[in-house]
Amino acid sequence: MTPKQRLTRAARNQEVDRIPTLGGWIGAAPALAEIAGLTKDQYMADPSRAVVRAHKALDVDGMIMPNIPTVWDQVRTGAVLEESFADAEPEDLLDYANSLPDKESDILRDFDAARNEAEFRDYFETAFKSWDGIVPVPNFWDLGGHFPLYHGFGYIAFLSACALYPDAVEKIWWAKSLPSRERAKILVRLYREFDLVPLLFCGEDLCNNQGPMVSPEILRKHYFPTVRMITEPLVDAGIRLVHHCDGDIRPVVNDFIAAGFSGLQGFQYELGVDPYELRKLRSLRGEELIIFAGLSVTRTLPFGAPRDVRDEVDYFLDSTDGGRGLFLFTSNVTGYEVPPENIRTAYRYIKTLNPGQPHPPKHRRWPGEKASLGSCAIPFAPAL
């Protein structure tokens, strides 16, 4: 099979010759350079090209919008520092909501469809031209919802406003979601025109290690309806949406599905998130879920040996009934501390496995934990 055929068939839960692999979230320039066989100077001369070369060396089938470190010793990006919002108050969100128009037509008055289409086209044309045959798997975060208003107001003001002024926060989510819905409609046309793999990776962080940052009841009433407004054109077009899953997602997994998602990515297994349980769920259309099984960036990749990485890959295959709907990926952006050999091991090893191997008779525990996840997993909360 070609990489595109492999990705497309797996997206449709059909048989494949081998488990498809995805790249894009290797987050350290030294690791990328080593995998690509480049010196520091060669990497820094053209980081974008070096990232592609590293993923070609890993022989990935597809790639999401890649992380491209442009500083050699860069450790992390995208952090929200609460100290930057020392003067922010929950009333700031209330005031902002009150400043927004109440009519959909007024919100969309300045929406530039042509500009948005041009941006999409530029992304795909660049990928087809510059990624040396690696298949683009679309990844546009705004098409999975606009939960993290903490980027603009800080955590304390945002989370306080969710409790004090949930209607106001909903209005902000609604106003941000309307342009994203229009972008989704444009993207549907481009999926057909470019004959893209029917996958979209999105879904913003809304959980931490303790669970959802905002109560599931507030999310169900005020947030998830705005997500469904965006995703509906994509779901109706047969595009499978895969939600990024940081933190303890168990209380809201069914809400992701009710909002139109039919795939999940990432997983912090140490929190009790259990792919065996996830595999029991079905999409709104009755489909088996797609699983972008994330190699653990909190334990296995940074602190494990190659044998631990192979054990984790075996766990993915077993928990998905022999690899049904399985894609190999990382759970998040790998850090500076991850040995390149662990990354190479995972992508090399999975190519040796035969999809369709029978599911083991006994629930297999995650290799990164001594205790069985099967014994500590709790049921996923229903979407109300």
**Sites in the chain below the pLDDT cut of 50:** 370-380, 382-384
Domains of the chain, by residue range, sit at 1-78+262-384
* Tally: H helices and E strands in the chain: 18, 10
- Give the separation between CA 224 and CA 161, rounded to whole angstroms: 17
Structure token digits, residue 69: 């470190």
- Contact predicate 312/296, CB 8 Å: yes
What pLDDT, on a 0 to 100 scale, did the predictor assign at position 78?
62
- Give the separation between CA 230 and CA 238, rounded to whole angstroms: 14
Only one residue has tokens 């029978």, namely: 358
- Give the separation between CA 325 and CA 7, rounded to whole angstroms: 10
What pLDDT, on a 0 to 100 scale, did the predictor assign at position 371?
33
Q: Which residues, 6+ apart, have CB-to-CB distance to 380 below 8 Å?
A: 250, 251, 253, 254, 277, 281
What pLDDT, on a 0 to 100 scale, did the predictor assign at position 375?
34
DSSP H/E element including 307: helix 306-319
Structure token digits, residue 213: 């940052």
What pLDDT, on a 0 to 100 scale, did the predictor assign at position 373?
33
Distance of CA 81 to the CA centre of its chain: 22
Q: What is the amino acid identity at position 304? A: G
Q: DSSP secondary-structure letter at 334? A: B
Structure token digits, residue 320: 């998905």
Closest to 97 (Cα-Cα) out of 174, 155, 160: 174
- Contact predicate 364/52, CB 8 Å: no
Q: Which residues, 6+ apart, have CB-to-CB distance to 99 below 8 Å?
A: none
What pLDDT, on a 0 to 100 scale, did the predictor assign at position 74?
81
CA distances from 380 to 173, 256, 261, 264, 276 (A): 25, 11, 15, 14, 12
Q: Which residues, 6+ apart, have CB-to-CB distance to 333 below 8 Å?
A: 25, 26, 27, 67, 76, 297
- Contact predicate 244/266, CB 8 Å: yes
Closest to 366 (Cα-Cα) out of 282, 302, 274: 274
CA distances from 5 to 20, 99, 129, 314, 324 (A): 10, 48, 19, 23, 15
What pLDDT, on a 0 to 100 scale, did the predictor assign at position 368?
76
Beta pairing class for 211-212 and 207-208? antiparallel
Only one residue has tokens 């705005």, namely: 226
CA distances from 292 to 33, 76, 349 (A): 25, 22, 16
Closest to 18 (Cα-Cα) out of 229, 286, 298, 313: 313
- Give the separation between CA 323 and CA 15, rounded to whole angstroms: 9
- Give the separation between CA 54 and CA 363, rounded to whole angstroms: 35
What pLDDT, on a 0 to 100 scale, did the predictor assign at position 170?
98
Collapsed DSSP state (helix, strand, coil) of residue 14: coil
What pLDDT, on a 0 to 100 scale, did the predictor assign at position 312?
95
What pLDDT, on a 0 to 100 scale, did the predictor assign at position 70?
94
- Contact predicate 193/245, CB 8 Å: no
